[in-house]
Amino acid sequence: MGKFHRFLLIVFSIIALDLLTKEIAVRLFSEKDFIVIPNFFNFTLVWNKGAAFGVLANAPIWVRKLILIFASLIAAIATIVYAYAKQNKLSKLELYSLALIAGGALGNLYDRIFLGQVRDFIDWHIFQYHWPAFNIADASITIGIFLFALNELYLKNRNKD
């Protein structure tokens, strides 16, 4: 299997896992939260109309949809095109990082297009201090960006020495 085929396999796996877990969250957590570890970790269904941290949540619906759908679509397409064009020059870590980003962007894009909002359900907190709820797509994007940045800032420079 070629590098780009592995890239696509990861992208589609992230999308499938994201959509599956969101559907499970809607079915199981619509009525009641599920406390996994008290004062630390819950499953709590949150319908996020905005972007990360609720950005644009209060903007007019047409502005919110236009900006968020367009930005998500451009990010996903740009990431996939870049990965395809540079597949022979990218390390496995770079390519897999981009796959995590693209898969996450497309998972949330599905929600934005078909539901008008994103289903978040992973709720980390320490007593009353909460991290905003997120989902598998958000985690994939964050991990992908972290790994790509780590590679660019640290690992590439280390290999040059």
Q: Which residues are catalytic?
A: 120, 138
Task: Give the alpha-carbon dihedral of 142, 17, 96, 110, to 10 degrees.
Answer: -70
Tokens standing for residue 48: 């996020």
Cite the DSSP H helix spans in the chain.
3-29, 61-86, 92-115, 136-150, 156-160
d(CA 35, CA 122): 11
Element (H, E) at 123: strand 118-126
Rounded CA-CA distance 87/108 in Å is: 24
Nearest to 158 by CA among 91, 72, 108: 91
